[in-house]
Structure 1
């Protein structure tokens, strides 16, 4: 058994690293236990809305983000068959004045690297790899966790930031990830390889049981594309569904620009899309959850990473307020964060049903509402972006 490692954080993704920075604000030493052989992020692009940009500002990372991000002018919904713009959201000055920060898009690995560099430079943070935390328990002095080799680590407290398939979550519920029967194929390509790239907008092409998202990342050097569709042949506990052949079948008849886009998509890796239902408690003594371990959600609002960053910021405030009493800090943290994240989780499901509608009446109603709003109507996004409990600074 090792010596006390301060605050233990299971998981070194975006949420786990942000949690370490949050703790460091209060002078709390933490040890981040990451399962991968080295720290890094897989995936492709990530959208960072103002509610998350506020957190990155708090942690002093805006300068680093600005070096690699793209700041789009609009969010655009398009009909996947006709190419018609159904609705737009202007991300210009009025947007920035309203929410205090711009909307950014960047490669997930660039965001993760900025967080990792900040953690590496902080003497209060220790980073360890190849640590798949299997179990956790409270002790008289704090907590103890066990990794895949049976090695143990003691700490004062534990944050489970170990993602969708969290082992720490098992302390609170025996639920399982829920498959939406949708899959994603995603990736980035050098911008010079395509002639149709729109460098100013985040575009979502929508249609029955499918969508395609496109936007530039990494200073405009790469173009990020994500194809999402519902499988015709979903099979539980199987990988034999959501195939590239189904992708082509689902997108048959789509707009020529969409057909061109999907011809560039990497079809080697499919990403089944899961979420979980909200739970009403994720704290036990000196143990709590954060990010996807607490509230994994479908990607339709582009808020998964943003909510993890919000978690970290509010947790930082509670750690300061309760000055070393982890249980009180964690309980106060979840009192605010559970209702907030549950609403985003459920709204993500609802918006998935709306954008993927195959019912003609629902589709007509959706399009009529979307087409009637102006580009500076912020009604739909206010509940997401106007969250002012994350804007406190050092």
Structure 2
């Protein structure tokens, strides 16, 4: 759809990433028409690997796309954390059949673009969904009866409900708060390579995490095991100091950060593409996700550091929740979005808040802190799920908040 002008729509989703497309699909599955606008000329995802716990694959099953996802994903047998300084195992988590038996759904890793394409194909096949590209929202004006939006090209919309899935730099978030993304000081170099070109010995059924002072390296296969995804993260002194873009977080700084790590870590970090790096940001939690006829979801609502692997997972949870409340309160969108906030804000904010100390724990440099962390990790069994039930179990049958501190969570 390329015509400009004015459009009256029932439900408008702003943003065509994983969260936006999943939300459109979930709502359409309830029989409600959805209009989605995306500022980019095509639907694309930046980045490579993506981890999907049972809380996310449970949503995919409800959306009818889990089969397609499993066909291109990898089913890891375990996640293992090693010390990047000496190569010793610290802890792990058994995945595979035991995990699936406990939670009812699998833990998967996959390429972000594969998931986006699956969701896009499902949306294109759904007659109740209208997708538009090249629509950059520049003005949002909520009223008691509707929401008016204007795009940079002059296109305007009047909607009963507007759902902001426009990411970390969300324009719709400005309706809620005038804040800015918070820099962690860390940057990531990331990319994929053919699995046969992996520079160190890999187990295609493992998620491998190496942690060290002010750095971590994440590795796992994607695209049905054909590619190996790697993310090298480190604290960038030049980035934190505000050095100009071209001179900060350089490959030389990456190599320096990883110089004291064991060979598999140092060699792997050196093998990752050096063409681009990504600063890591989050934002402080919001007090509200909904305001009248407007609600935020995904990174627009609760951007979090990547260490919990929950960014996309929480956006998928948002999607099915929004579909459910809009279907339940079909004639009262304000009541529906209020219910969405009540259901989703506590859980998503918990993930958002825990990500910061969890990242600090991975990146510990203090010897005493390291000793205490390592002792706690080594004391737990890989098949002990007690600290992660709150995250992966069906929320209808499990508590929605963690019962332990992040220092003891695997």
Q: Flag the 1:111–1:67 CA change in 2: closer, same or farther, 3 A.
A: same
Whole-angstrom distance in 2 between the partners of 1:389 and 1:54: 12
The question of 1:200 aligning with 2:205 is answered yes
The question of 1:42 aligning with 2:46 is answered yes
Map residues 14-93 of structure 1 onto 2, 5 A cutoff: 14-93=18-97
Whole-angstrom distance in 1 between the partners of 2:10 and 2:328: 18
Whole-angstrom distance in 1 between the partners of 2:119 and 2:207: 24
Secondary structure (helix, strand or coil) at the match of 1:134 reads: strand
The question of 1:247 aligning with 2:251 is answered no
Secondary structure (helix, strand or coil) at the match of 2:101 reads: helix
| Unpaired segments ≥5 residues, structure 2 | 399-410
Aligned to 1:269: 276
Whole-angstrom distance in 1 between the partners of 2:60 and 2:244: 38
Whole-angstrom distance in 1 between the partners of 2:227 and 2:208: 15
Q: Identify which of 389, 398, 408 aligns with 1:382.
A: 389
Cα-to-partner distance string for 1:257-277 (whole Å, 9 max, x where unaligned): 112211220111110000001
The question of 1:235 aligning with 2:217 is answered no
Aligned to 1:13: 17
Whole-angstrom distance in 2 between the partners of 1:282 and 1:150: 28
- Alignment: residue pair count: 391
Give RMSD over aligned pairs: 1.5
Cα-to-partner distance string for 1:118-158 (whole Å, 9 max, x where unaligned): 10000010110011112211246411111122321222210
Aligned to 2:217: 212
Whole-angstrom distance in 2 between the partners of 1:274 and 1:224: 21
Whole-angstrom distance in 2 between the partners of 1:366 and 1:387: 29
Aligned to 1:224: 229
Deviation at 1:44, TM superposition (A): 0.3
Deviation at 1:200, TM superposition (A): 1.2
The question of 1:184 aligning with 2:184 is answered no
Deviation at 1:93, TM superposition (A): 2.8
1:274–1:297 Cα contact (<8 Å) kept: yes
Whole-angstrom distance in 1 between the partners of 2:130 and 2:164: 16
Q: Flag the 1:9–1:184 CA change in 2: closer, same or farther, 3 A.
A: same
Aligned to 1:316: 323
Aligned to 1:99: 103
The question of 1:349 aligning with 2:356 is answered yes
Deviation at 1:38, TM superposition (A): 0.5
1:314–1:390 Cα contact (<8 Å) kept: no
Cα-to-partner distance string for 1:288-333 (whole Å, 9 max, x where unaligned): 1010000000000000000000111111221121123211111100
Cα-to-partner distance string for 1:81-128 (whole Å, 9 max, x where unaligned): 211111011113332122111100000000111110110000010110
The question of 1:306 aligning with 2:313 is answered yes
Whole-angstrom distance in 2 between the partners of 1:59 and 1:390: 20
The question of 1:117 aligning with 2:121 is answered yes
Secondary structure (helix, strand or coil) at the match of 2:170 reads: coil
Aligned to 1:338: 345
1:77–1:206 Cα contact (<8 Å) kept: yes
Whole-angstrom distance in 1 between the partners of 2:339 and 2:130: 26
Secondary structure (helix, strand or coil) at the match of 2:59 reads: helix
1:51–1:390 Cα contact (<8 Å) kept: no
Whole-angstrom distance in 2 between the partners of 1:113 and 1:389: 30
Whole-angstrom distance in 2 between the partners of 1:182 and 1:258: 18
Q: Identify which of 144, 163, 168 aligns with 2:172.
A: 168
Deviation at 1:238, TM superposition (A): 4.4
Deviation at 1:232, TM superposition (A): 1.8
Secondary structure (helix, strand or coil) at the match of 2:8 reads: coil
2:7–2:156 Cα contact (<8 Å) kept: no
| Unpaired segments ≥5 residues, structure 1 | none
Aligned to 1:256: 263
Q: Flag the 1:94–1:14 CA change in 2: closer, same or farther, 3 A.
A: same
**Bigger mean CA deviation after superposition, 74-83 or 136-145:** 136-145
